[in-house]
Amino acid sequence: MEDFYQTHALFRTQDILENFTSVRRMQAKLKTLIDIGRIAKIKNGLYATVNPLTGDVFASRFEIASALFENACVAYHSALEFHGLGNQMFSEVQVFTEKRNIPFEYNGLEYKFFSYTAKGGIMRLEQNAEIVVTDLERTVIDCIDRIDLAGGLEELVMALNGITHLDEQALLSYLKEYNKKFVYKKAGFLLSLLKKDLLSKSFFDICKQNCSIKLEDISENKKLPRKTDKYWGLMYPEKLINTEN
């Protein structure tokens, strides 16, 4: 048990149960380790090792989010943050799960859970513990679908402008999974604000072919001045950054 928790930033009770003759003995050991500040309880069945130098757990918000439920996956703005594209770190951590779960708070962060929409584009990597997160292209399309969960339109545009490379075939694959005309339209418009050589004309042609012809509005505050992009049939805030590049 000592070797196990000292070499694992996160662990579950089922990972250590075989080291004890009974559940009661295991629970007693866990309580002792919590009391002396060696480990911290994240939620029932999930524990984290504490850094003795700082008193904080070794595991990051992304690692904790990935471990909260089976098949959990960091998503939306939290995934933007992981990819280094978030303009700021939110106190909310967004997580895809196969079932809706009640929001959960730990160490000043609120973990919120959202049902999976598309199934592809999941990355798994090890740092202190396993991180499961949507890949960059999946994150982009998810955030375009739910701009509110990307931190709002301005935050999303700033994040998109930080991107230096995108796999357009992956983008098209995720757009096809969503199969929403409005998502194609928003993707075509918002990604056209990026550097002109980042995506091909073919990508934007496909977006245009699959979007609706009706005029739609992505402005969050309808009282502020807006502009209209006639090609994409979208209204957007007049002060949306980088619309002239």
pLDDT on residue 82 = 97
For the chain, the straight-line distance linking the first and the last C-alpha, in angstroms and rounded, comes to 58
Q: Kindly state the average pLDDT of the residues 14-37.
A: 86
Residue 244 has pLDDT above 70, yes or no: no
> How many whole angstroms separate alpha carbon 166 and alpha carbon 169?
9
- Label each residue of 123-177 as H, E or C: EEEECCCEEEEECHHHHHHHHHHCHHHHCCHHHHHHHHCCCCCCCHHHHHHHHHH
What would the pLDDT profile of 91-122 be if each residue is shown by its tens digit? Answer: 999 999 988 789 999 999 999 999 886 678 99
Q: Where are the beta strands (DSSP E) in 6-79?
A: 10-12, 39-43, 46-49, 73-74
Q: Residue 103, class by beta-carbon neighbours within 10 Å (0-12 exposed, 13-18 middle, 19+ buried)?
A: exposed
What would the pLDDT profile of 163-222 be if each residue is shown by its tens digit? Answer: 999 999 999 999 999 999 999 999 999 999 887 789 999 999 999 999 999 999 999 888
Beta-bridged to residue 226, according to DSSP, are 237
Tokens of 196: 């002109």
Helix (H, G, I), strand (E, B) or coil at 11: strand
* Domain residue spans of the chain: 2-49, 61-237
pLDDT on residue 4 = 64
Closest CA to 213 of 182, 241, 174, 175: 182
